[in-house]
Amino acid sequence: EDQVTQSPEALRLQEGESSSLNCSYTVSGLRGLFWYRQDPGKGPEFLFTLYSAGEEKEKERLKATLTKKESFLHITAPKPEDSATYLCAVQAGEDSNYQLIWGAGTKLIIKP
Amino acid sequence: GAVVSQHPSRVICKSGTSVKIECRSLDFQATTMFWYRQFPKKSLMLMATSNEGSKATYEQGVEKDKFLINHASLTLSTLTVTSAHPEDSSFYICSAPTSGSDEQYFGPGTRLTVT
């Protein structure tokens, strides 16, 4: 069964304290892995798409990496405004209907 | 990135009434849109896939007669919650992929409260 697991469930960091969020997946034929950010009461905001192992993408303080089993979202010197829930999702198989399999998310809290 | 809007952002209705939520792709055409439901502190639960010009595809356990989906144009999909009950209270979010891209862009969500 296709599955996406994110860890930790919640992460509290001091401002400037770098860390990583994990997304491990078990799917039959990865088409793409997606990272989103969601603020309370809002829809998810697209961050990155990764397609193949070894691929990396960066945006400001965030860098996403991908292996054959997992993806990491590295956050460098975070600021309080980076506080949010970070969601990981994968698109799997030959099906081209764009359906995503979602992880439960990691709630990131950055304390000033 | 592409922009998806939802209307209304918040709605309160009485038990037994119906509520319509609109999802629009503002700067692109979307042959497919997705409707999700999100419970507090939980991840997104896919309810149905909305296809322009054809019937929606519902996920297992989602009542198609209760959650009516209409995708009448390439920029608009609607979700109607019929005969709403308090247990239908939730955060409903739509999304759409842009043509030729795998990324999905999400609307801001609609908070439904049934009293």
Please report the pLDDT score of residue A32 as a whole number. 92
Reported as a single tens digit per residue, the pLDDT across B10-66 is 999 999 999 999 999 999 999 999 999 998 878 899 999 998 888 999 999 999 999
Q: How far is B96 from chain A (nearest CA, A)?
A: 9
Q: How far is CA A77 from the centre of its chain?
A: 17
Token pair recorded at residue B5: 């809007």
Nearest to B34 by CA among B105, B88, B108: B105
Q: In this structure, are strands A62-66 and A56-59 parallel, antiparallel, or unpaired?
A: antiparallel
Rounded to the nearest integer, the mean pLDDT of chain A is 93
Q: What percent of chain B shows pLDDT beyond 90?
A: 81
Query: Are the C-beta atoms of residues A56 and A65 closer than 8 Å to each other?
Result: yes
Nearest to A101 by CA among A11, A20, A31: A31
Phi, psi values for residue A87, rounded to 5°: -110, 140
Interface contact B105-A91, CB threshold 8 A: no
Q: Which residues of B touch A98 (CB under 8 A)?
A: 32, 34, 97, 102, 104
Nearest residue in B to A87, CA atom: B43
Q: Which residues of A touch B34 (CB under 8 A)?
A: 98-99
Please report the pLDDT score of residue B2 as a whole number. 86
Phi, psi values for residue B60, rounded to 5°: -60, 135
Reported as a single tens digit per residue, the pLDDT across A39-89 is 999 999 999 999 999 999 999 999 999 999 999 999 999 999 999 999 999
Q: pLDDT at residue B71 above 60?
A: yes
Q: Which of the residue ranges A12-16, A58-62, B72-76 would you say has the lowest mean pLDDT?
A: B72-76
Q: What percent of chain A shows pLDDT beyond 90?
A: 83
Query: Are the C-beta atoms of residues B58 and B37 closer than 8 Å to each other?
Result: no
Query: Are the C-beta atoms of residues A36 and A86 closer than 8 Å to each other?
Result: yes
Which of B32, B34, B108 shows the shortest C-beta gap to A42? Answer: B108
How far is B69 from B22, CA to CA, in rounded Å?
10
Q: Where are the beta strands (DSSP E) in A1-112?
A: 3-7, 10-14, 19-26, 30-38, 45-50, 56-59, 62-66, 70-75, 84-92, 101-102, 106-111
